């Protein structure tokens, strides 16, 4: 069986890398020129206590990202991406505690599939909620996925290039201070058509459920 060249949109993928900017406070102090009348540390006033910054750290449910290539069962990979190696390929990241992505893709006969699973760990639930809302706002036409994480959204889109259809599904899940992002797409290079919306949507949600369960195990 002859192999066929893939469309440019399927051979070039850009994996965003999350870059976090960390800022700290600079504090300085100097000696008190006034003599101390008594060998006793003065008690702070109520106004001073109120203005002092809190040093209590907000606990995070998830401190690090789980290994994305181990986040779904082997049988799930072979079902969603026929012909792919179950081990997958992890995409390099500048900070694996914050963001990790695994990718699987394969062409079996004329049938092509691609699956990405990403974990993004934020500093707080509020930050994760903001990122979740921003991502959902970028993708119109989808709907909520009940019972998955704290919030979940799924959308499927069809694109056409050189008469070749490709259907791609995206599932975004927020679980406490972490996001799970699933991208799943497919094409048939013999018929020039794409898998059905249900096939792509159900496959993406299945991968999302397993990935979220893996994430929750790391925070247990």
What tens digit of pLDDT does each residue of 46-96 get? 444 444 554 456 678 999 999 999 999 999 999 999 999 999 999 998 888
pLDDT in tens, 166-213: 999 999 999 999 999 999 999 999 999 999 999 999 999 999 999 999
pTM for the model = 0.74
- Spell out the domains of the chain, with CATH numbers in brackets: 67-218 (2.60.120)
Would you state the structure tokens that stand for residue 220, as one six-digit string? 């247990």
102-108: list long-range contacts, CB under 8 Å, 24+ apart.
102/67, 102/68, 102/69, 102/71, 103/13, 103/15, 104/77, 104/80, 105/81, 106/81, 106/82, 107/3, 107/4, 107/6, 107/83, 107/189, 108/82, 108/83
Which is it for the CA torsion 147, 57, 128, 209, positive or negative?
negative
CA distances to 90, 121, 199 from 96, rounded to whole Å, are 10, 10, 31
């Amino acid at each position: 069986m002859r192999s066929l060249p893939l469309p440019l949109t399927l051979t070039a993928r850009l994996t965003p890398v999350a870059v976090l900017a960390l800022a700290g406070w600079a504090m300085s102090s100097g000696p008190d020129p006034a003599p101390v009348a008594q060998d006793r540390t003065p008690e702070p006033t109520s106004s001073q206590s109120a203005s002092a910054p809190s040093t209590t750290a907000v606990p995070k449910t998830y401190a690090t990202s789980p290994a994305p290539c181990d986040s779904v069962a082997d049988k799930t990979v072979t079902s969603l991406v026929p012909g792919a190696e179950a081990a997958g390929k992890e995409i390099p990241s500048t900070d694996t505690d914050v963001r990790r992505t695994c990718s699987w893709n394969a062409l079996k006969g004329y049938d092509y599939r691609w699956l990405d699973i990403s974990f993004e760990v934020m500093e707080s639930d509020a930050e994760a909620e903001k990122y979740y809302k921003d991502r959902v706002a970028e993708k119109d036409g989808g709907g909520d996925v009940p019972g998955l994480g704290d919030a979940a959204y799924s959308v499927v889109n069809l694109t056409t290039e050189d008469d070749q259809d490709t259907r791609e599904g995206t599932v975004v899940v927020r679980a406490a201070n972490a996001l799970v992002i699933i991208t799943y797409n497919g094409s048939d290079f013999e018929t020039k058509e794409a898998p059905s919306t249900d096939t792509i949507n159900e496959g993406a949600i299945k991968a999302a459920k397993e990935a979220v369960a893996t994430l929750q195990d790391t925070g247990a």
